[in-house]
Structure 1
């Protein structure tokens, strides 16, 4: 099984009382699939999972799983330890877990491979590894990424190196067989697709979903990629997902723009700039995902 296409890591909307707005999450999930997403990600980092209680994480997972099951859409779920992975056994809608390279400890290549091998061996679902070294502080050369790809039960990687570095070039020039490489840096998705990435896990695709889906289908054509890169830059101008939530709220798609500490709400200027960028994409291309 090789995952392809556009996967949207859904935000967690909150209501005016600060509770998870499950109705808004359900509608957002359905709208995103209606506008071209291949599948959804629940409890990715865009969902603020560390700020949710265990009961809230279960509620988010149940809500997104119900939508994906009803649509026959693939679903990834953020799960980074044995307990979280074990809980996915009760979720038949989950296609795979999105599992982070262990952050902060800088375990080294051998430690990372051993850790991910242990998780994959215990997991009830396959793993898609999230490699984002500018957040985890764990760089990995292309040779290490190939070692991870060879772990039984690992079927893909969300690759977010912060640009197009030499290891990204090396990996995409000779990708492991039957292994999905999904671009995770929204700003660079067009060149990643042109180099051979199989798809993307893109928070920016909460807006202009159809345009991002078309970009992936067309393998990153330059004019469309330029416009979406500007949109992604605007949406990530402040810590994610604050700007995305601000724009979604401004367009009436979620009840509040609230985020939870340590995040702060996006500034009005950032929301206006991103809303303008999203609106330009929609007007120019007659897409109606916002």
Structure 2
């Protein structure tokens, strides 16, 4: 996340700042650095890392725990992987959404927006952001965008389904571990498919979490399907169908590379752990 963080900053600006003329990642990053300083693309890095650690822990722990209880040595299938991913994603969303609402606000604090309707915020840190949101907007505001987030559990679910499916297909008749390059490519393909399929929901999610769009303020704890369709309709009306995919270039570049590296490290650390314990990874062979 640290390596590719500026790409995520560019993606978020494109999603919430409707009047920004720059449309491509390099030009957006150049604008941010020129107007706000060299370190501006890394604004909000610490709360994002904290949220990421909590989110990944909750997701992977839930995914592997449910998998161990459900399968109990039986063969896994793409359908089962999808269900496991959805269950883990729902638990993750309900537990960690307040963290992501706060880090979205912190990432955009101090940004020079082209949209004059956006009001500046003043948070001194994670705890202060929690306190201000709680007292000025109420407890439900910490779960802004929960409905699109719940729908977005399809993203990691699709990601893991494609990832595990590709591993199974490529592993048939083969022996030994995947190479680092193979794991990287499989992880990248899986994330690219999942991100592109669910990106319009991610655009709505960012707008609702930011909390400054007129319709997002009218939404309650989870928002509503009406809010989601309204925001989609507004994006299409103003920018065409491309408006639903603003920042996709930056998001794909950031998430695909991040996910590929994550899967690479995940597989290497798991293999090393099993070697240290003197065990064979019979379950992961399927």
TM-score tier after normalising by the smaller chain length: under 0.3
What is the TM-score with the length of structure 2 in the denominator? 0.26
Which structure shows the bigger proportion of residues in strand conformation? 1
